[in-house]
Structures are given as C-alpha cells and as structure tokens.
Amino acid sequence: MKLETKAVHAGDRKRTPENRGSFVPVNTPIFASSSFLYESAAKLDKVLGAEEEGFSYARYENPSRRALEDLLTALEGGAGAFACCSGMMAVHMALLAALTDRPKAILAASALYGASVKMLTGVFEPLGVEVDFVDICDLGAVRDKLAARRYACVLMESISNPLLRVGEMDKIAGAARENGAVLVVDNTFATPLLLRPLEHGASLSVHSLTKFLSGHGDVLGGAIVSDAEHLPVLTALSRTCGPALGPFESYLTMRGIKTFPLRMERQCANACRVAAWLQQNPGVERVHYCGDPEHPDARAIRRLLPANLHGALVSFEIRGAGKEDILRFMDSLKLIVSGTSLGDVHSLMLYPAIASHRDLAPRQRERLGIRENLLRLSVGIEAIEDILEDLDQALASLELRP
C-alpha cells in the first residue's frame, strides 16, 4: 500500500470483539475518558496485566491516541509509536529510550534545533550524560568520534534546522551500529513522504506533530516511531513518565495527516519556485535549499530524497541586512505570517536569531553559519504568485546595501 493511501486509511475503522456486529465509525472519534470499564474485574485484570488487548487508563492507552500511533507506525514502517505532548518531549523520550542500559553518552549533530541543543546541554549534561557534538555531514569525523569512545546514540536531523544540511543517514546508522550505538533521527523537516529513517537503519524516528503532519497550526504534539528493539522500553517509559498526547490533539493530528501528502507535495513544489526566485533576486546574498544542484550535500540528497521532493523549507540571507533590517522586512510582509513554527498550510517566516536558535550564544550561531541576516521560510500551499509577490514587495521595502 502506498504512503498516500496509508495516510487516509491506516489506524481507522478497527473491528474488535467488542464492536463486532455493531457499527464502526468511519473516522476514529474522540474518546474523552480517563479510564475504561469492562464487564468484569477479571477482564480488567487481564487488560492491566497485558494478557488481553484493551484500554484501562488514559496515561497508558487511549483509543484516539492508539489510532494515531497506528497511523504513524504505518507511515514510517516501524514496530510501534508513541504520541506525546510536544516535539521536544518526543526528542526527550527517544533519547531516554536510547540511553537505557547503554553508556550515558550522546553524540549529537552540531547543526540541531536550538531547543534540542539546550536540552542536551541544560538537561542531560547536568544529569551526568556526556554530550559531544560533531559535523554530521562529515562522515569521517562521525566515524572517528564513534571509534574513539562508547556512545549510547547518535542524534541528528534528517534535514537540519535552519541551514537544511543532509547527512548520509544510512552510513551514519551503520557506523553507529558497528560501535554499539543507535541512531535517533528528528524527521520533522523531511516527513515520511520524503524520508523514512527506520528504512535507513535508524532505531527511533522523532516528529513534531505540530508541523507538517497536522499541518494547520492548531495542534501541539510530538511522536516517536520505534523499531522492535526499543518499543518495549519506550512503552514502559511513556507509561511511567506520562507525557501522552490527549485525545483531542490525537484526533486533530489524525485528521491533518489524511491530507498531508497532498499538502506536502504542493509545498515542495512552491518551495522550489521560491528558491529559484530568491536566487535571482539581487537583494538576496545566499539561498539554502535542498533542491539546489550546488547544495553541499547534493550527493546525499540525490541518494536519500525522492526526485522533485526536496522539502518545503527555504532559508536565505538578505544582502547587507542587520537585525533591524530583518525585523523591518518581516513587518513588511502582508501574506506570509511571521511566526515561530513551520509546516502549516500558510507560509511562515522565522528569524532564527530571535526564535529557533535564540538560546545559542551569538558566537555559537556564527560558528554554525546562522548569521544575523538569515531567515527561514516554511512555504505554504498558497498560490505561488501571491507568495512571490509578497516577498518581492517586502524586499523592495529595504534599501539594499552593496
């Protein structure tokens, strides 16, 4: 079954012994209940003991969330999934699962979402977990780091935030496995339409459901799709820590996913047009886009991503612009929304220096290539002519500097 079909059908219309012979809702409804009853305490005992399939307490399982998790498992090709309250919680839970019964050390990509870096240095390190960073696009450096010491896991993004770098995921997964580590991938930017990390050797694939999968700016959520090895520990951690996604958010996310492939295809096509237009604009110094033939990771992109699907993100640097110029540019936008997210149906402009990477020191941002004149655009599904017209008038409002 193709991914586009799975997005519409997976997770819904389950028939169970309890509803056999009765009606089955076309879409999984919202089960707004914290606990579930059975015809006997003996039956509840078996459900709680995992001797029989069923639902007992919403921190453990909820039918709305289970349907979403089944859908995510189908999309990513995993053994199971856990939907939780935010993308950052998904990163946290995935790392905890990877660290269980392994050395308390993480090798992380130096190019990561700012909050992920903050979690590594501000949460895991104070708890005694050693964290090292590496240029994930330098395969030799990754291999050298893995050979030099024992790590529990490697953490990377399928497409990095915000400079859109792409590491050789399959080769990194192999190197990690050879050295006793596992690969954890934040797949938010690529989505399962472009790339499915578990097919390339990753053990845990993380998503911010807030972004492309729900797609409408009305959900805060996250998810981890797991291989068979890590699913039991992930399930145990989720039940103990209790960060489960609620039934309302599960329903909204599942509804959004039904149209996600269509939206993502349109967004990828629009992003390609935007990148080409920006590259020809004299007010733009540099464009970062995975579809660029001159992209520094072009070889990995050709191997890992489908032809003509290069993601919906375009980052670009405005020539000669400082912080005040960038803020004025954002205020000049009339259609594109200046917000702190991405992946919505509407186009969203973000300034990494004050948002996604605000917590990093200016020198650290500079070392990572996140300059003061850099903007990140999440391209929506609007008419491309309207998106380009808005960018054009906003850039024209600035006095270009040589």
Q: Would you put residue 324 in left (φ > 0), alpha (ψ -120 to 50) or beta?
A: alpha
Ranking 103-107, 122-126, 338-342 by mean pLDDT, the lowest is: 338-342
The larger pLDDT score, comparing residue 360 to residue 188, is at: 188
Query: Are 161 and 30 found together in one domain?
Result: yes
Query: Are 363 and 264 found together in one domain?
Result: yes
Q: State phi, psi for 302 to the nearest 5 degrees.
A: -65, -35
Domain of residue 279 covers 260-396
Distance, CA of 310 to CA of 79 (rounded, Å)? 27
Decide if 38 is catalytic: no
At residue 192, the pLDDT reads 98
Considering the candidates 145, 211, 319, 365, report the single residue annotated as catalytic.
211
Q: Residue 72 above 60 pLDDT?
A: yes
Query: Are 297 and 311 found together in one domain?
Result: yes
Q: Residue 343 belongs to a domain with what CATH number?
A: 3.90.1150.10
Cis peptide before 402 (omega within 30 of 0): no
> Could you read off the pLDDT of 236-259 as tens digits, one per residue?
999 999 999 999 999 999 999 999
> Could you read off the pLDDT of 177-206 as tens digits, one per residue?
999 999 999 999 999 999 999 999 999 999
> Could you read off the pLDDT of 28-62 as tens digits, one per residue?
999 999 998 888 888 888 888 888 888 888 899 99
Q: State phi, psi for 377 to the nearest 5 degrees.
A: -110, 120
Residues in the chain: 402
At residue 277, the pLDDT reads 98
Query: Are 302 and 212 found together in one domain?
Result: no
Distance, CA of 382 to CA of 386 (rounded, Å)? 7
Q: Using 50, 70 and 90 to split pLDDT, how confident is the model at 15?
A: low
Query: Are 164 and 24 found together in one domain?
Result: yes
Query: Are 202 and 323 found together in one domain?
Result: no
> Could you read off the pLDDT of 210-228 as tens digits, one per residue?
999 999 999 999 999 999 9
Distance, CA of 329 to CA of 350 (rounded, Å)? 11
Arithmetic mean of pLDDT, 88-109: 98
Give bridge partners of residue 131 from the DSSP assignment: 106
Q: Using 50, 70 and 90 to split pLDDT, how confident is the model at 25?
A: confident
Distance, CA of 330 to CA of 128 (rounded, Å)? 41
Decide if 390 is catalytic: no
Contact 84, 238 (CB under 8 A): yes
Distance, CA of 217 to CA of 357 (rounded, Å)? 21
Count of domains for the chain: 2
Is 233 strand, coil or helix?
A: helix
Answer whether residue 402 is part of any domain. Answer: no
Q: Residue 401 above 50 pLDDT?
A: no
Q: Residue 14 above 90 pLDDT?
A: no
Q: What percent of the chain has pLDDT over 90?
A: 83
Of 202, 234, 257, the residue at which a domain comes to its end is: 257
Shortest CA distance to 194 belongs to which of 140, 157, 233?
A: 157
Q: Using 50, 70 and 90 to split pLDDT, how confident is the model at 20?
A: low
Measured over the CA atoms of residue 360, residue 120, residue 237 and residue 13, the dihedral's sign is: positive
Of 226, 257, 288, the residue at which a domain comes to its end is: 257
Q: Residue 63 above 80 pLDDT?
A: yes
Answer whether residue 401 is part of any domain. Answer: no
DSSP symbol at 284: E
Tokens for 90, please give them: 């998904």
Distance, CA of 213 to CA of 204 (rounded, Å)? 17
At residue 402, the pLDDT reads 44
At residue 199, the pLDDT reads 98
Give the per-residue SS3 of 151-200. Answer: CCEEEEECCCCCCCCCCCHHHHHHHHHHCCCEEEEECCCCHHHHCCHHHH
Contact 244, 59 (CB under 8 A): yes
Considering the candidates 70, 143, 145, 186, report the single residue annotated as catalytic.
186
Q: Residue 17 above 60 pLDDT?
A: no
Query: Are 358 and 331 found together in one domain?
Result: yes
315-325 residues labelled b (16+ CB within 10 A) or e (exposed): bbbbbebeeeb
Answer whether residue 195 is part of any domain. Answer: yes
At residue 400, the pLDDT reads 53
> Could you read off the pLDDT of 283-303 as tens digits, one per residue?
999 999 999 999 999 999 999
Q: Residue 51 belongs to a domain with what CATH number?
A: 3.40.640.10
Shortest CA distance to 27 belongs to which of 303, 276, 254?
A: 254
Arithmetic mean of pLDDT, 5-9: 94
Query: Are 242 and 270 found together in one domain?
Result: no
Decide if 227 is catalytic: no
Q: Using 50, 70 and 90 to split pLDDT, how confident is the model at 81?
A: very high
Helix extents (H) in 184-343: 191-194, 231-241, 247-257, 260-279, 298-304, 323-332
- Calculate the average pLDDT of the chain: 94
Query: Are 198 and 301 found together in one domain?
Result: no
Neighbours of 278 (CB within 10 A): 23
Arithmetic mean of pLDDT, 135-145: 98
Of 191, 223, 257, the residue at which a domain comes to its end is: 257
Answer whether residue 155 is part of any domain. Answer: yes
Answer whether residue 381 is part of any domain. Answer: yes
Cα separations (Å) of 268 from 33, 171, 310, 379? 39, 26, 6, 8
Considering the candidates 6, 66, 70, 113, report the single residue annotated as catalytic.
113
Query: Are 116 and 205 found together in one domain?
Result: yes
Query: Are 62 and 164 found together in one domain?
Result: yes
Contact 190, 321 (CB under 8 A): no
Considering the candidates 59, 171, 177, 255, report the single residue annotated as catalytic.
59
Tokens for 294, please give them: 């001159």
Decide if 2 is catalytic: no
Query: Are 16 and 150 found together in one domain?
Result: yes
Contact 92, 119 (CB under 8 A): yes
